[in-house]
């Protein structure tokens, strides 16, 4: 029998003496409550829970273990969903906790490089962190915003899931006044549904809120492109949902910059892209800069 006091003791051993559970990645992600810590999710089973634990909108995990004794639990992954068999968990008069660990990230070298940069030049706080995929990486922020304290923390090819997983290590040290986000087209291009992209986006917002509660978040909508034009209906659906989400939230704005790219006929303009038809040209970035600058300045008022 494991009571609550035993769970608190074992949680301290697993998470560290100064650890405090982080925010839930979303109320609809599982059929039990979730808290987070670093790169693990803690699934809290009520004493009367029966049947499997189902966790939705996630990548394949490294494994699931019982926090109390470290026992591995059978877990099946399919269609962005993890199903964890709880039949082997002995009866308890307290809440059990399952630890869901994720596989090592393919972006670790990029995140480690950011941490190395932060150690070499310790953040002073109050800056503007641009965080996202290659559209952030290729944006010459120092030239675009020479008068503003901008920091580029993009890593090309990433998805919202990757931004969520690494936000604590990338965003928190900077204590930013503002965070500008861009991602989503890699997600849709790799077959993720709008539901999945939105779930990861909301989880990222919650993580940033936890790490930088005073920061304003500016979300750039998923851009249309020639190379991924066939996927744009799904991207547009995500943009619509993001815009609706931010209306209900304080301290977050949505920037639809599609008119920097689309022509009068509603199709992407070739001059908005480099040769690959995916990444933006200087002209398109100039338009992005002109549209984002007022938002950054308004946020300072």
Q: What is the pLDDT of residues 38-53, one digit of tens each?
A: 889 999 998 888 899 9
Residue 294: its H or E element: helix 282-299
Q: What's the pLDDT score for residue 92?
A: 67
As a CATH number, domain 4-102 is: 2.60.40.1180
Q: What's the pLDDT score for residue 169?
A: 95
How far apart (Å, rounded) are the C-alpha atoms in residues 211 and 289?
Answer: 26
Q: What's the pLDDT score for residue 2?
A: 35
Examine the pLDDT at 286 and tell me if it is beyond 90: yes
Q: What is the pTM of this model?
A: 0.91
Residue 71 backbone zone (phi > 0: left; psi -120 to 50: alpha; other: beta): beta
Q: What's the pLDDT score for residue 3?
A: 35
Please report, for the chain, the start and end positions of each structural domain, with discontinuous segments joined by +: 4-102, 108-299
Question: Could you tell me which residues are beta bridge partners of residue 268?
Answer: 262
Q: What's the pLDDT score for residue 15?
A: 45
How far apart (Å, rounded) are the C-alpha atoms in residues 208 and 214?
Answer: 10
Examine the pLDDT at 183 and tell me if it is beyond 80: yes
Tokens of 200: 């990861």
Scanning the structure block, which residue is given the tokens 């034009």?
229
DSSP 105-134: PTTHHHHHHHHHHHHHS---SS-EEEEESH
Examine the pLDDT at 122 and tell me if it is beyond 50: yes
Q: State the average pLDDT over residues 142-151.
A: 97
The architecture (CATH level 2) of 108-299 comes to 3-Layer(aba) Sandwich (3.40)
15-69 pLDDT tens trace: 443 456 789 999 889 999 999 988 899 999 988 888 999 999 999 999 999 998 8
215-273 pLDDT tens trace: 999 999 999 999 999 999 999 999 999 999 999 999 999 999 999 999 999 999 999 99
How much of the chain exceeds pLDDT 90, in percent? 83
């Amino acid at each position: 029998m494991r009571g609550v006091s035993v769970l608190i003791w074992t949680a301290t051993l697993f998470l560290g003496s100064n650890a405090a559970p982080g925010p839930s990645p979303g109320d609809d992600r599982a059929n039990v409550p979730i808290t987070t810590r670093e790169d693990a999710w803690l699934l809290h089973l009520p004493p009367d829970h029966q049947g499997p634990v189902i966790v939705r909108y996630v990548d394949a995990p490294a494994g699931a273990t019982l926090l109390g004794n470290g026992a591995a639990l059978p877990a099946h992954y399919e269609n962005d969903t993890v199903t964890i068999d709880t039949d082997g968990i002995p009866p308890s008069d307290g809440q059990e906790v399952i630890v869901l660990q994720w596989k090592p990230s393919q972006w670790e070298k990029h995140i480690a490089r950011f941490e190395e940069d932060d150690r070499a030049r310790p953040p002073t706080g109050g800056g503007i962190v641009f965080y996202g995929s290659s559209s952030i990486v290729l944006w010459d922020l120092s030239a675009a915003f020479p008068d503003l304290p901008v920091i580029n923390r993009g890593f090309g090819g990433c998805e919202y899931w990757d931004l969520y997983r690494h936000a604590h290590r990338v965003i928190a040290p900077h204590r930013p006044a503002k965070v500008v986000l861009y991602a989503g087209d890699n997600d849709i291009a790799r077959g993720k549904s709008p539901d999945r992209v939105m779930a990861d986006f909301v989880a990222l917002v919650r993580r940033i809120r936890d790490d930088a509660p005073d920061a304003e978040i500016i979300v750039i909508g998923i851009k249309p492109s020639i190379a991924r034009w066939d996927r744009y209906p799904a991207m547009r659906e995500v943009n619509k949902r993001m815009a609706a989400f931010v209306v209900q939230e304080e301290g977050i704005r949505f920037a639809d910059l599609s008119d920097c790219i689309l022509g009068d006929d509603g199709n992407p303009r070739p001059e908005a892209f480099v040769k690959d038809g995916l990444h933006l040209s200087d002209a398109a970035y100039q338009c992005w800069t002109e549209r984002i600058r007022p938002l950054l300045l308004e946020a300072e008022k």
